[in-house]
Amino acid sequence: MNKNTTIGLLLTLSLGSSLFAQNKTQDTTKRYAPPSMLPKPGVVAQKPMSPLENLEISGYYRFITNYRQLYETYSHLATNKNNIFVGDDSQIPQLMLNIKGDATSRTSFGTDLFLWTPMTGEGEKENVKGLNLGVNLSGNFATDIGSFMVKAGGINWYALSPFTFQASKGNNRYSLFERNPWDPNTARVDSRYIDFYSAGALNQDLRWGNQAFHGLIVEGSQLPHNFSFSAMYGKTQFDGGLSAIPNNSIGGRLTKTYQGRNFIALNTFNNDSYTDSISAKRAGFNMVTTEFKHHFKKVNLYGEIGAGRRYVSNFTSKWGEAISIKISSDIKRKFPTELHLFRVSPNVLNNSSIFINSSIQQTTPTNSLTQPVLIAVSSALLPIGQMSNNRQGFELNSQINLGRLKNNIGYSNAVELENLSPKITYTHAFNNLSLSRFWRWDFPSNVGPYKNLSKIYRSVFETVYLTELNTASGKPLFKKYFNTFEINSKYKTKILRKDAYFFYLGSVNSIQNFAAPFTVFSEKALLRAYYHQFEGYVKLAPKLVWTNYLSFERIIANYNTQVDVISKRPKNQQGFSFATGADIQLSKGAGLYIRQRWMNYKDKSFSLDRYRGFETTVEVKIFF
C-alpha cells in the first residue's frame, strides 16, 4: 500500500476512534449534562445527553503522478526533458477530510483537514498538514417572518449575480478527456459521458459557477411579500486574498419573486483594499446592478443591467455601464435558441464577476498568496459565453438534434468600445494543461523562449503585439473586431454491442480591424485561430471505459503584428495531439484514471517556439 494511502487511512481510523470511543467508555450523561438537567433520584433518563446531534466525516484521497518525456522543448527545460512528478501541481491536497457536526437541529459547523506531500525533494519539511477551507459555522433559524441562514468563517463557495459575484459556466461546450481535480467519481463508470450526451451538462462539485469568499454571509428567505435577501462581508481570493494588509469586500442582494418563477433583484458588490503595508494607498471598485427574469408563454427573458467604477489612490473613474440581456425560446419545441446581447464599459472592473478584465491594469496587495498585479489579458480571443469589459456584441446559441446526432452551435460577433490595448491574447486549446506543466508551482508571466507566455491556473495564454500604434499614446490606431463560431457535436452508437460515444468540439475565430459578419479566413485578419478536438469513449466492460482523444490547432497572425527578427514573418503555429486512456471503476467510491498523450507543436516563423514528446498521467481517486 502507498505510504500516503496508509497515513490517510490511519489518520481517518484514529480520528474516528477518538471521536466515537467516548460513547463506549464514559458516562455521557454525567459528563455533558449540566446539574439542572441531571435525572432526579429514582428517575431513569430517557435519552443520554450528547454534545453533538450528529457528526459526519467524509472526504477523498487522490493520488496522481505524471511522467513526461520531451524530445524537443523550451530552453528552461533543456536539462529536464525526462521528468516524473508525484502530486498535483495545481496545488490540490492528496488527502482531504471534511468534518461536519450539528450542534443543534438548526446549527452546524464544518471544517476540513488536508495532508499533502508535494515530493519536491526537500524532505520531511514538505509534508504539509493543515486547514484547506478553514472552519465554517452555519446556522438555520425559522421565525414567524421568515427563514434565516448565517455562514461564518472559513471559505464558502457562493454566488450573487453574474456581474457582481459569480463565475462563468460557459455554454455546455467542453472537452471531457482531461480530468479536473474537482471531477467526482460517479455511480457508473460511464455516467459522465452519458450525462454529457443526454443533457450537455457536466457533473461538477459545489465550486462550479461559484466564487471563493471568506467572511460572513447572511441569507433570508420566505419573507413577507415574497422577498428574500443575501448579505456578505469579508474577503475574496482576487482582491487581497489572505493578505494581512487591510482589505474587505461587501455585497448583497434583495430579491422579489412573483408569479412563481419570475423575479427582480437589486445586487451590489464592492471592494476596498490597501495596496501597501503602511495603509497609504488604496484601490477598489463599486458594482451595482438590477437583475430580472420573466417567463412569457413561449419566450424567456433574463437580464442584468448596472453600472460600475474603480478607484486607485486619489483617482476615481466615471461610472460605466454593464448590460447583459438574454432572450431564449424553444423554437417549435425542437430547436432551443438563445440570443445574448451584452455591453461592458472599459471603466467597469470586478475581478469576482463573470467578465474578465481586458482594459485596466489593477494593483492589489502584495503577499505570497495573490499576485502583486492582476495582469490585464488585453484584447483576448474568448470562447462564447465568456464576457470581457471594453466590449459589446451579441451571441447566438442553439441546439439542433438530428436523430442521435446532437449539435450545440454558437456564433459570436463583438467589437471593442475603445482602442486601448496594443496586444492580443489567446490560449492553446489542444495542449493547454500539458503546457501549463512546463512551469510547476508558480504562475509566472512573460516566460517562454520569446517571453510572451503567461501561466494561469491549469492554463497558459500567449501574447501577440500589434505594430500599427499611435506613437504618442502607444495605443493601436483602430478598434478590434471579434468573430467566433463554435460547434459541439455528440453521437451515440454501439460498437460490437458496446456503448460508444463520439464528441467533436470545433472553433474558428478571427480578430481584425474591421467589422465582418462571419469569421475572416484571409490574411486580412490580425489573428486567426482554428481548434478541432475529437473524442471517443467505448464502454468495454461494466467497470471499464476506453477513452481516446485527437486534436489539431492552427494559429496564424498577419503582418500588422510583431514578426520574428530572423524569419521576418508573423506567428504561424500548428499543433497536433493524440491521446488514449482508460477509466476503471475499482469500487463504488474509487476510480483509476489513466491518460497517455503524444504531442507535437511548432511555430514555423519563430524557430525556438516548439516542443515534442509525450506524457503519462495516472490518477487514483477515492471518496469516502
Q: Does residue 187 sit within a domain?
A: no
Instruction: Indicate whether 487 and 614 sit together in one domain.
Output: yes
Q: Are residues 272 and 406 in the same domain?
A: no
Domain span including residue 80: 52-93+375-624
Asked if residue 365 belongs to a domain, the reply is no
Residue 23 domain flag? no
Same domain flag for 339 and 384: no
Ranges under pLDDT 70 in the chain: 1-53, 89-91, 118-121, 132, 201-208, 239-245, 275-280, 331-333, 361-377
Domain end, chosen from 351, 367, 394, is at 351
State whether 329 and 459 are in the same domain: no
Last residue of a domain, which of 295, 318, 351? 351
Amino acid, single-letter form, for residue 97: L
pLDDT score recorded for residue 33: 37
- Measured over all CA atoms, what is the biggest interatomic distance in the chain, rounded to whole angstroms? 99
In tens, the pLDDT along 159-206 reads 999 999 998 877 778 889 998 887 878 888 999 899 899 877 655 555
In a domain, 485, yes or no: yes
Comparing CA positions, the residue from 531, 211, 488 lying closest to residue 350 is 211
Shared domain check, 601 and 462: yes
Please tell me the distance from the alpha carbon of residue 356 to that of residue 352, in angstroms, as a whole number.
9
Q: Which residues contact 217 (CB under 8 A, 6 or more apart)?
A: 149, 150, 151, 152, 156, 158, 230, 231, 232, 234
Instruction: Specify the pLDDT at position 365.
Output: 47
- Position 599 scores a pLDDT of 96
Is the domain of 345 the same as that of 379?
A: no
Determine the pLDDT at residue 96. Answer: 84
> Are 276 and 383 contained in the same domain?
no
Structural domain includes residue 44: no
**Residue 421, class by beta-carbon neighbours within 10 Å (0-12 exposed, 13-18 middle, 19+ buried)?**
buried
Give the whole-number percent of the chain exceeding pLDDT 90: 52
**Which of 409, 374, 433, 594 lies closest to 506 in space, CA to CA?**
409
* Residues 397 and 284 reside in one and the same domain: no
- Hey, what's the torsion of the CAs at 172, 176, 181, 186, to 10 degrees? 90
C-alpha dist (Å) from residue 472 to 150, 469, 477, 559: 54, 9, 11, 22
C-alpha cell recorded at residue 535: 473524442
Residue 232, C-beta contacts closer than 8 angstroms, at least 6 positions apart = 158, 160, 165, 213, 215, 216, 217, 218, 249, 250, 251, 252
Q: What is the Cα–Cα distance from 195 to 505, expressed in whole angstroms?
A: 17
**CA 223 to chain CA mean position, Å:** 33
pLDDT at 138: 81
Domain count, the chain: 2
pTM of this structure: 0.84
Residue 197 DSSP class: H
Residues 506 and 568 in one domain: yes
The pLDDT of residue 243: 62
